[in-house]
Structure 1
Amino acid sequence: ALVARGLSPDLPAMKAVGVREFAAHLAGETTLEQAIDATRQATRNYAKRQLTWFRNQTPGWTRI
């Protein structure tokens, strides 16, 4: 629905995990399986970035 509306790729909703990958599938650039695999990889990459950020936020915290 987002792609069909012709929304700009610069919008925050178009930058969500999986949107770019499935837009490529809908455009015929990738298969559904490739889009699913790419979305899974993008999700793992995002989770890793979150964990890295969180680890760097807690150096002064005391562990209980």
Structure 2
Amino acid sequence: MSKLSEVRFLTVAEVADLMRVSKMTVYRLVHAGDLPAVRFGRSYRVPENAVTAALQRPVADVG
């Protein structure tokens, strides 16, 4: 695991911009456990490497 000082944390708004989804979708991913996050007070911060990993996961074809 990388050192905490090397981890870059993103806000929910930054994650939403990177993933091109709404902030509510990011909150849903966090609450469902699909996207790890750390809570600071009333806001969440998501490790940048977790966002990168989520974007590289294959998308399931359900249709």
Work out whether the TM-score is over 0.5.
Answer: no
Q: Greater CA radius of gyration, 1 or 2?
A: 1
Higher helix share: 1
RCO higher in structure (CA 8 A, sep ≥6) = 2
TM-score (norm 2): 0.30
Higher strand share: 2
